[in-house]
Structures are given as C-alpha cells and as structure tokens.
Structure 1
Amino acid sequence: MTELLHEINIRRAFRAFSDKKIPEDAIKRIMTAATYAPSCFNNQSWRFLVATDDEALNKVFGALSEGNYWFKHAKAAVVVATKPALDCMLNDIREYALFDCGLAAQNLMLQGFKEGLYAHAIAGYEPLKIKEAFNIPDDYIVITLIALGYPGDDSYLNEKHKGLEHSPRDRKPESEVICYNKWNLG
C-alpha cells in the first residue's frame, strides 16, 4: 500500500482530544493545505473561519447538537462556508462550490492528520447559530464544522463513542460503489 493510501486509510473521525494547544504554525499549514484544493474554474469558492481562542470556540460550541458534546474538547474549530455567487455557474444543477469546499475540507483534514492531529468534520450543528454568532452574511452557506485537536484520553466519551474510537473501520465493499466501463450500480 502506498504511503498516501495508507494515511488516508488510517485517518478516522476520532473524538478523543487532549488538552494540548495546537501551535499557530501548524494551524497555518493546515489552512494552507485547504487552499491548495482544486476548484471549478479555479474560483476557490471556500471560505474558512478558524476558531482558536476561548471566545470563538465557545460560539462554535453553542451551535453543536447534543450528540457532538465531544467537540467541546477540540482546541480549534474550522467553519467551512461558501455562497452561490462564488460558484462556477454551470448551466445545470451541479453546485460545484459545495464540491470544491469538500475537496478543501479533505485537504485540511489530511494535513491535520499529518501534523499529528485528529480532524473530525460534523453535520450536527445549527448553521444559523454559527452565522449569527460570527456575523456571517445571509447569502453564505455553512457547510460543515471541523474539530481539530491532538489525540487524547477517551474517558469523557460515552460508551457508544468509546466503541467507535476503537472499532474496525467500516467501509462498503468497493463492488457496491465502484463500477468500470459501464454503469451497473443500484
């Protein structure tokens, strides 16, 4: 297995963060990696808000769903957003700004992993609370929040999440999601 494929394979959505602060230069490298993602027409439609101080982190924590209690142990949070005006405006229903933000988020998470951090993107939050807390304009779409932190003790996790931290990685068989030369997937 090549080194990159191995690293992609062992990266997981871990939840057990330590109290160790993330150095500013590591945050900068992580965010630079996000900006190196490809994008439709090179529009670079992503916008990021990086929360590292207590005040900003508490704003993020205030928008979390109950099931994402563990996110409050993260030492940094990234808000990933875009707006339709930043999209590449093709004449069909494809919304490449969302796709491009996903590519940037994956770069961000992989660089975080390379820095020795856990990086976990979530959907369980209230986008309106994030927009209000940070005065993000109405025309923006908050796509995801990403928790960043060094690996830590899982003692604060509930039993379900402790189990997920240590369970084997669960992926669908490639035959269910990949076909070659003709479409034969359900």
Structure 2
Amino acid sequence: MNPRIAQTSAPLLDTLAERWSPRAFDIEHSLPEGALRGIFEAARWAPSAKNTQPWRFIITRRGSESFAKIEAALLGFNQTWAGNAAALVVNIAETTDADGNKQPWAEYDLGQAVAHLSIQAQSEGLHLHQMGGFDRDAIRTAFDLEERFLPVSVTAIGAIGSLDQLPEALRERETAPRVRLPLEDLVLVRD
C-alpha cells in the first residue's frame, strides 16, 4: 500500500486520491516556458460568485528575482524546503473590486481556483504544496500590491525530489500515512 494514496470511504478520481503535498522538491527540475499555462487555465475556469473571478496570481520561477522575494517572505521551516520547488506562486484574493465594492466571497473563490489548479497540476504530473506561513506585508511591499489585493497563500510547484534534502523531522512527515477526519465527523447535519 502506498502511504501517499488516500484511503477513502468512497471511490474518488485517481487524480484526487493521489494528490498530496510534498516538501521534497527536485532542485534540478525546471519548468519550460508555458508549462504552467494549463494549471492556470484550470484556475481561470473555476466557479466564482457573480462570475467576478476575484483571484490573482504572482507566478515565479526558481532563479528569478521575484522567486527570491517570495522565498524571503516565507516563515519558519517553509524556508528550509520551498526554495527547491521549480516555481513559487502567491495566491491573491481581490477583496474589493476596482470600483471599491467589497467582494466578501473573494477568499472562498480563490480557494476554488487554487483547488482547480492543484488537481490539474496533479493530472499533469506536477506536485504542489500550499503554505500559509509567510509574511503578507513583505509580499505586499515586495510586489507593490494595492490594498484591495490580499495575499492568502503561497504554493510551491515542481517535481518530487529526494527525501535526503530534508531535515529529519520533515522526512518523517513526508513518508507518514495521510490522515483525515472521518467523513461522519465533517457533516454537521444530514437529513
């Protein structure tokens, strides 16, 4: 049994069951020009309230100045592994539109867009790891973001690398079986 494949209580699409969030990325792997287009096209077609599409992305490749800015804004142990990914992406919610109208659903819609891109990436043989541990103000400053744009998460994208590049504590997490709450614990009301 592969500990990375989800043990589910109902059948899932293989792409969903096989999706997981590695920390060991192959530092030799690079993404050719256009390689991420499909996954961001999947994000573009995610549903959104009133079709506002309140998601924006900062897409960077390892070795670029922009990648270094994102890597520098990562917190804690995220800095020990995320720099090996082929790309770092800042996922941004447009919380107020250009006319100043609040978009209270923006973070939810961004989550859907990122979910769509993560499944598309998995189907294309790429792996992603989402992070909340980063300095939002540092990202805002580094990329001169308007107040209406809220950095919500950072995603590392690439190919799986060797466990040897990770500290021991992260190696254990990388190989541990995937665990989720039982489905029954997630449903509050069922009629």
TM-score, with structure 2 as normaliser: 0.85
Aligned to 2:171: 162
Match of 2:23 in 1: 15
Distance across 2 between alignment mates of 1:10 and 1:163: 19
Residue 71 of structure 1 aligns to a residue whose secondary structure is helix
SS of residue in 2 equivalent to 1:79? strand
Instruction: State whether residues 22 and 150 of structure 1, in contact with CA within 8 Å, keep that contact through their aligned partners in structure 2.
Output: no
DSSP 3-state at the match of 2:157: strand
**Is 1:64 equivalent to 2:74 in the alignment?**
yes
State the shift of 1:30 in Å: 1.1
Q: Say which SS state the counterpart of residue 96 (structure 2) adopts.
A: helix
Deviations 1:39-69 (A, max 9, x none): 0011000011101152111011110112102
Q: Partner of 1:55 in structure 2?
A: 65
What is the DSSP-based 3-state SS (H/G/I as helix, E as strand, rest coil) of the residue aligned with 1:48? strand
Report the more deviating stretch, 133-142 or 40-49: 133-142
For 1:145, the equivalent position in structure 2 comes to 154
After superposition, residues 16-31 of structure 1 pair within 5 angstroms as 16-18=24-26, 19-31=28-40
Deviations 1:59-81 (A, max 9, x none): 11110112102111111111111
- Secondary structure at the aligned position of 1:62 is classed as helix
Q: 1:179 to 1:82 in 2, by over 3 A?
A: closer
What residue number does 1:125 align with?
134
Given the superposition, is the C-alpha separation of residues 44 and 33 from structure 1 closer, same or farther in structure 2, using an over 3 Å criterion? same
Structure 2 gaps, min length 5? 1-9
Q: How many residues align?
A: 177
Instruction: Kindly state the Cα deviation for residue 88 of structure 1 after the two structures are TM-superposed.
Output: 8.1
Q: Secondary structure at the match of 2:151?
A: strand
CA contact (8 A) 1:120 1:147 kept: yes
C-alpha separation in 1, matches of 2:12 and 2:183: 20
Q: Provide the secondary structure at the position in 2 that maps to 1:24.
A: coil
Residue type of the partner of 2:17?
A: N
One-letter amino acid of the structure 2 residue matched with residue 166 of structure 1 = T
Relative to 1, partners in 2 of residues 1:27 and 1:12: Cα closer, same or farther, differing over 3 Å?
A: same
| In 2: Cα distance, 1:134 partner to 1:116 partner | 30
Q: Is the Cα contact below 8 Å between 2:53 and 2:109 reproduced in 1?
A: yes
**Residue 83 of structure 1 aligns to which amino acid in structure 2?**
E
Q: Is the 8 A contact 2:92 2:153 kept in 1?
A: yes
Letter of the structure 2 residue corresponding to residue 15 of structure 1: R
Question: Could you state the TM-score of these two structures normalised by the residue count of structure 1?
Answer: 0.88
